């Protein structure tokens, strides 16, 4: 194995998707889950994650779904409520992996979350260049491609001369794992109810 490709949410940064639903419920939108489901059907989130929608367009669509009085700041704060922290030991793990492998990052994310989690890492971890932690880091909203599409994986690997058959991908979403395998990568499903990425990497013997 030459290359390790990591997911971000759930693997490196803690994420609580229910926190965003709670935040919108507290704004007197108790049925956010139903609206979230409708937005999924409308491809609102997919479009935002691939950069097809701007933050302004995303906020306007949320206002259409949840109410015209919501401010940009309120929408952003509620949308970002799901973002947690990156435990320092996971940063250290990335550094250890880089001693033996080419370490890349591929995240399905959006243009509101990116500055928010980069600010979290800057404040809590003292890291002002988050992408600089990796040999290469890619956000779906910037490359116009998202997991589990094979093109997203191959785009990243081609940029770094990485062979899919010599690349291990780690993600906590099983559909992304299947997508990576379909693209020719080795892939491990990180089951967060059982272990974190540090335990998985140790179990696989990837670091000494």
Boundary (domain end) residue, out of 36, 55, 82:
82
Average the pLDDT over each of 14-18, 47-51, 65-69, 146-150 and give the range with the smallest value.
Answer: 65-69
What is the C-alpha separation between 206 and 208, in angstroms, rounded?
A: 7
pLDDT for 31 beyond 80: no
Residue 208 lies in a domain: no
- What does the block give as tokens for 152? 């997203």
Range of the domain at 164: 3-15+85-203
Instruction: CATH number of the domain at 9, please.
Output: 3.40.50.1000
**pLDDT score recorded for residue 30:** 60
* Residue 126 placed within a domain: yes
Pairwise CA distance, residues 128 & 130, whole Å:
6
Residues 181 and 111 both lie in one domain: yes
Report the helix count and the strand count for the chain, using DSSP H and E: 11, 5
9 and 101 together in one domain:
yes
- 10 and 44 both lie in a single domain: no
Say how far apart CA 145 and CA 42 lie, in whole Å: 18
Three-class DSSP category at 103:
strand
Q: Looking at residue 185, what is its pLDDT? A: 98
Q: Dump pLDDT digits (tens) for 35-91.
A: 666 556 567 888 999 999 999 999 998 888 888 889 999 999 999 999 999 999 999
Provide the token pair at 75: 């929408």
pLDDT in the model for residue 64: 86
Query: How is residue 36 written in tokens?
Result: 């979230």
Per the domain annotation, does 116 fall within a domain? yes
On whether both 7 and 102 belong to a single domain, the answer is yes
Please indicate, yes or no, whether residues 51 and 98 belong to a single structural domain of this protein: no
The tally of domains found in the chain comes to: 2
pTM over 0.75: yes
What's the confidence (pLDDT) of residue 38? 58
Over residues 100-118, the pLDDT tens digits come to: 999 999 999 999 999 999 9
Same structural domain, 71 and 106: no
**Are 140 and 192 within one domain?**
yes
Question: 145: closest CA among 181, 120, 184, 179?
Answer: 179
Stretch 130-138: mean pLDDT = 98
Q: Centre a 10 Å sphere on the Cβ of residue 206 and count the other Cβ atoms it contains.
A: 18
């Amino acid at each position: 194995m030459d290359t390790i490709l990591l997911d971000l949410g759930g693997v490196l940064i803690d994420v609580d998707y229910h926190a965003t639903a709670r935040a919108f419920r507290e704004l007197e939108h108790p049925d956010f889950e139903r609206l979230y489901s409708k937005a999924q059907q409308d491809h609102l989130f997919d479009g935002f994650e691939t950069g097809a929608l701007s933050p302004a367009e995303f906020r306007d669509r949320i206002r259409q779904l949840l109410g015209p009085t919501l401010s940009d700041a309120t929408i952003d704060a509620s949308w970002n409520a799901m973002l947690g922290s990156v435990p320092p030991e996971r940063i250290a793990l990335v550094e250890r992996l880089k001693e033996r492998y080419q370490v890349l990052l591929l995240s399905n994310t959006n243009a509101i979350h990116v500055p928010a989690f980069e600010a979290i890492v800057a404040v809590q971890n003292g890291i002002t260049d988050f992408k600089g932690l990796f040999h290469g880091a890619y956000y779906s909203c910037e490359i116009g491609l998202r997991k589990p599409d094979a093109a997203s994986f191959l785009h990243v690997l081609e940029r770094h001369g990485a062979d899919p058959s010599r690349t291990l991908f780690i993600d906590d979403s099983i559909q992304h794992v299947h997508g990576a395998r379909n693209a020719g990568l080795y892939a491990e499903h990180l089951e967060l109810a059982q272990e974190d990425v540090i335990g998985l990497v140790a179990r696989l013997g990837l670091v000494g």
